[in-house]
A and B are shown apart, each in its own frame.
Chain A
């Protein structure tokens, strides 16, 4: 397990991420991801069902109409995709084999080799992630990394409840293996 190291160490990644957050806070604002899921929904919904979208209080309340659509924040998340795409191609040979593909070995050992089962869990988990993130007002990047770096009270509350629940759920899922 330990010998299958990531391409850069946690020290390099952690310091780089802290510096990137500082740079972003200096240039524009701290990092955030989860809002852009709503923005993407709003863009799609405006095209598909404009009336229902206009009536949606949340979409109306969270941002002026002009603010919806492809702006700074959305480009940041799009950039994450491009950054991940480029580095995963360039450094393909240096990524540990165990971290490749969409059927994690750990998952397969406990829940079997059904792709449908893994994808259903990934989809359902994703829905909970974003429902929770929007209710709390942010996710790992906006609330935890950016929020705690600004010493925001709400982000400490979020971190405690998120880690508490995630650790409990992970132990419940993998209880057979201890």
Chain B
């Protein structure tokens, strides 16, 4: 019960940040993908920069409840390509279409409905693609820390610094 309340509150904050930061805006998403408007990418790099530092500082104290996704290269790569096409065509991602729907945007509601269908189609397609795309080339739940043998915090510090540099210094909007 308490866990559900925590989930709800974290979700509220997440939704509020996405809306107020302009992440549910079609113009911003497509502007980013057309490499003209850097708002979304700067927002994401900042979030990942702060998040990496936060997660690995927690990890130092043994307090991080990590959840690493397995690296099955074929499925992750092809899934990424399909996802990317859907992202550019709809102008939303799974989180921002929820927020767009909350704003009352009809196109976002259609993206949510399409998403429910896409997830359902995948659940029925799964037995047919598991053998080809998910089982082979599976390196498991590995992190860069596992791959390099370098302690996570020493990777997190420069990675975080790089992302924050990108956001705050390097990336600039390119309007004609």
Nearest residue (CB) in B for A79 is B11
Q: Give the CA-CA distance A134 to B132 in the complex, in Å.
A: 15
User: Does B122 contact A21, Cβ atoms closer than 8 Å?
Assistant: no
Q: Would you give the shortest CB distance from B7 to chain A, in whole angstroms? A: 4
| Interface 0/1 of A139-164, CB less than 8 Å to B | 11111111111111111111111111
- Interface flag for A47 (CB, 8 Å): no
Residues of chain A lying within 8 A (CB to CB) of residue B65: 25-30
| Interface 0/1 of B69-88, CB less than 8 Å to A | 11111011111111111111
> Which of B79, B116, B125 counts the most chain A CB atoms within 10 A?
B79
User: Does A80 contact B95, Cβ atoms closer than 8 Å?
Assistant: yes
Q: Give the CA-CA distance A7 to B117 in the complex, in Å.
A: 33
User: Does B12 contact A80, Cβ atoms closer than 8 Å?
Assistant: yes
What is the total number of residues of chain B having a CB less than 8 Å from a CB of chain A? 132
Q: Which residues of B from 87 to 134 have beta carbons under 8 Å from A?
A: 87-108, 110-127, 129-130, 133
Q: Would you give the shortest CB distance from B166 to chain A, in whole angstroms? A: 11
How many residue-residue contacts, CB under 8 A, span A and B?
A: 539
Q: Which residues of B from 118 to 176 have beta carbons under 8 Å from A?
A: 118-127, 129-130, 133, 139, 141-145, 147, 152, 155-156, 159, 167-168, 173, 175
Residues of chain A lying within 8 A (CB to CB) of residue B147: 153
Residues of chain B lying within 8 A (CB to CB) of residue A99: 22, 24-28
Nearest residue (CB) in B for A137 is B69
Given A75-B4, A151-B155, decide whether A80 and B76 contact each other with a Cβ distance below 8 A.
no
Pick from B10, B21, B80, B88: contact of A158, CB under 8 Å: B80
Q: Give the CA-CA distance A11 to B54 in the complex, in Å.
A: 16
Residues of chain A lying within 8 A (CB to CB) of residue B52: 148-151
> Which of B24, B35, B83 counts the most chain A CB atoms within 10 A?
B83
Chain B residues in contact with chain A, CB under 8 A?
3-28, 30-31, 33-35, 37, 39-40, 42-58, 63-73, 75-108, 110-127, 129-130, 133, 139, 141-145, 147, 152, 155-156, 159, 167-168, 173, 175
**A-B residue pairs, 5 tightest by C-beta:** A79-B11, A18-B50, A14-B46, A125-B90, A126-B114
A-B contact pairs, 25 of them (CB 8 A): A7-B20, A7-B22, A8-B21, A10-B39, A13-B18, A14-B43, A17-B51, A58-B122, A80-B14, A87-B19, A88-B99, A91-B19, A104-B26, A119-B106, A126-B86, A128-B82, A128-B89, A129-B86, A130-B114, A139-B94, A152-B69, A157-B80, A164-B81, A165-B88, A171-B33
Chain A residues in contact with chain B, CB under 8 A?
1-2, 5-34, 37-38, 40-42, 45, 56-59, 61, 70-88, 91, 96, 98-107, 115, 118-171, 173-174
